[in-house]
A and B are shown apart, each in its own frame.
Chain A
Amino acid sequence: MPTKNVVDERISKFKNKGKDPAKLREKRISECVELRKVHKNESFLKRRNLTLSSLPDEEALSSDYISNAMVTLPIEDIIRDVNSDCKESQTRGCQAARKLLSQERNPPLKEIVDAGLLSRFVTFLCMDDEPNLQFEAAWALTNIASGTSWHTQQVVDHGAVPAFIALLASPMLHISEQAVWALGNIAGDGAAYRDILIECNVVPALLARIAPDTPVGYLRNLTWTLSNLCRNKNPFPPVSAVQQVLPSLIQLLHLGDKDILSDSCWAISYLSDGDNGRIDVVVKTGIVSRLVELMSHEELSVATPALRSIGNIVSGSDLQTQVAVDAGVLKVLPQLMRHPKASVQKEAAWALSNIAAGPCRQIQQLITCGLLPPLVEQLRNGDFKTQREAVWAVTNFTSGGTVEQVVNLVQSGALEGIINLLQVKDAKVILVIMEAINNIFLAAEKLGETEKLSLLIEELGGLDRIEMLQNHENDMVYQAAHALIEKYFGDGEVVGVKVDSTDDGFVFNADVQGTFDF
């Protein structure tokens, strides 16, 4: 009927009504989405460095991948080119190898090594008149050295080390930087290669590259390589090398770039992770204030190694610890003890435990600077590793603290905190807790208040737990538990029988905790 067609026509002019839903949907898809301008064909076809064998079948058959795999040379051609005498071929082959070695997934490190190309690459490193070749070779060798120890060994065994050290002085910054990177990989393999590099005088060669106008990217690589030269124990780096590196490290620590700061802090953390003599070398540079400052850095990648460094320093002598305290570490520690990341909390608790292992004047500073509340929080809420460190802090505190300081500690809730941890599985932790309790009793004895303390501990549920520990499988635990019960919870009671508040001799004061004072 004509009328219907007219109506339909009119309706079809409306935006959505009467239109085929499928067509509408298509239109929406193509119209409503915002996309970035991407060169799509280019980006599809820019699939680099894939060999067919490394792909699952369906991908291998896709035309995109096939066309691109043909863009890079197959290995036989690379070998032929690299071994040729023609500079252009060498460069082409070396570049192709470099691209293979740079691919994101499964770079064929071993294939390149097994193809016997390394000695050629090392030769290329020395060709100062062919900087492109030098650069490609340096990059290729860098990536091989980034593999396992075996890979790194191949690079070193082919004589790359002196060549790379020489390249540090290259007038071409990108080549020098590549050498820095390669040497970083070699040093990072372990103490042996690290010390070989140091013997070859790599340190002065590296330090000579630091200048006011050195680009940040270069400095990042340099700092990382320096940190690897400070890294590893058994043995530690030679003290002479450390002395050489430190002044530059201090300089780098005053810059603003977060990557430079992070690696500099890691370097300091390695250098301070040793005996007190090693710590001394670090502390004497005066860097501790800056480290404390960096503990509050907004980047976790900086704060973490700064905290580690300070943690190492306060594991040293009382004097060394005092340097950190004077630099304000106690103001910074509380927020780290409350940090959302568990490992940060743990390291902060560990640092605190070492400060608490100091003389009572340092323990006093812990109290004054408000370290007890976060400590108690950690005992209550921390994950187990954090709690373990916090327990050590408490025990160290009770061991070195004055009677008054121990009372302070108990009043802060720390005693309750450690009592609640008596049920953990870790026998060592239990022993540390019981030593703390013992120490607290020793303080109570000086005040003549051991009974009050026994009551308090019972009130807090500690007596029950300690009684149960008399059945613990670890003999040191049950002996310690038994000794505690005998000494402070005895008075003729049968071991293991719970004391009833109606029994004679015990006044069970429900408010004991609140009014408890030694």
Chain B
Amino acid sequence: MIPVFLPSCNALDVDQDPAGSQVYLMSMSLTTEPPDDVPAVTEEPESKMTVVEKDKKEEEEEEEYVVERVLNRRVVKGRVEYLLKWKGFSGENNTWEPDDNLDCPDLIAEFLQSQTSAHDGKRKTAGDAEGDESKTKKKKDDTEKLRGFARGLDPERIIGATDSTGELVFLMKWKNSDEADLVPAKEANGKCPQVVISFYEERLTWHSYPTEDEKN
């Protein structure tokens, strides 16, 4: 029977151990154990721990659980406890076990080593620079591209205007693109009025007109 613990997770940081794999350190607090379960531990060689449980009918079920890794360490009421990853079980089933119940000195030593010794020192991959890497897949775009707003880009500013096509159009510079192209003024007025206003404002010039005196 798998002892069931309801975790209240107190997550520490996502962390790397020197061996290079990600270690997500979670502290789980034990809830009260089911009243009729009395885990008793017998010592086994190497990294195994045997949990002996008695149920109501006083049958003894002996099952062996193998410790895969020691993940963390804490001291609770003066007792040293280790967080254990069990072989064959997912991380959700990690449990805190008292130090004196365990007989996996090599795994404990390995854990302590990883926590304290930086001088073995070499750490593989700094990790999360995935965004910089080259694309895994590439689509080949059509050589004749979409134009204007259909390109799905954001307007940056208007750099020119003409009505020689018969309607007023703007030459639009888009964000994140060096390729400007034409858009109908009507469309721009609706979709990016502020950009249009900026264009006109930049080109406003004020003129004074002759007063009555100057005319004579």
Q: Tell whether A18 pairs with B13 under 8 Å between CB atoms, given A43-B181, A396-B119.
A: no
Q: Mark B74-104, 1 if CB is under 8 A from A, else 0.
A: 1100000000000000000000000000000
Report chain A residues within 8 Å CB of B132: 304-305, 343
Please, how many angstroms separate the alpha-carbon atoms of A7 and B216 in the complex? 9
Q: Does B203 contact A (CB under 8 A)?
A: yes
B124 → chain A closest CB, angstroms: 5
A391 → chain B closest CB, angstroms: 10
Q: Mark B119-156, 1 if CB is under 8 A from A, else 0.
A: 11111111001001111111111101111111110000
Residue from B117, B125, B171 having most chain A Cβ neighbours under 10 A: B125
A145's contact among B12, B117, B137, B205, by CB below 8 Å, is which?
B137
A185's contact among B116, B137, B171, B180, by CB below 8 Å, is which?
B137
A and B contact pairs by CB, cutoff 8 A, 20 listed: A17-B209, A36-B180, A43-B181, A99-B142, A102-B140, A103-B146, A104-B146, A139-B140, A178-B140, A188-B136, A308-B129, A315-B123, A347-B129, A356-B121, A399-B117, A399-B119, A427-B13, A428-B15, A435-B116, A474-B12
Q: Does A515 contact B (CB under 8 A)?
A: no
Q: Chain B interface mostly helix, strand, loop or mixed? A: loop
Q: Tell whether A392 pairs with B203 under 8 Å between CB atoms, given A185-B137, A426-B13.
A: no
Report chain A residues within 8 Å CB of B149: 59
Report chain A residues within 8 Å CB of B51: none
Q: Does B36 contact A (CB under 8 A)?
A: no
Please, how many angstroms separate the alpha-carbon atoms of A353 and B126 in the complex? 10
Question: From A186, which residue of chain B is reached at the shortest CB distance?
Answer: B137
Interface residues of B (CB under 8 A from A): 12-13, 15, 73-75, 115-126, 129, 132-142, 144-152, 160-165, 169, 171, 180-182, 203, 205, 207, 209-210, 215
Q: Mark A297-341, 1 if CB is under 8 A from B, else 0.
A: 000000011001001101110000000000000000000000000
Contact assessment for B137 and A33 in the assembled complex, using a CB-CB cutoff below 8 Å = no
Report chain A residues within 8 Å CB of B144: 46, 48
Contact assessment for B118 and A29 in the assembled complex, using a CB-CB cutoff below 8 Å = no
Contact assessment for A16 and B207 in the assembled complex, using a CB-CB cutoff below 8 Å = yes
Q: Does A395 contact B (CB under 8 A)?
A: yes
B104 → chain A closest CB, angstroms: 19
Contact assessment for B210 and A18 in the assembled complex, using a CB-CB cutoff below 8 Å = yes
From residue 129 to 143 of chain A, which have CB atoms closer than 8 A to chain B? 139, 142-143
Please, how many angstroms separate the alpha-carbon atoms of A16 and B75 in the complex? 89
Q: Does A416 contact B (CB under 8 A)?
A: no
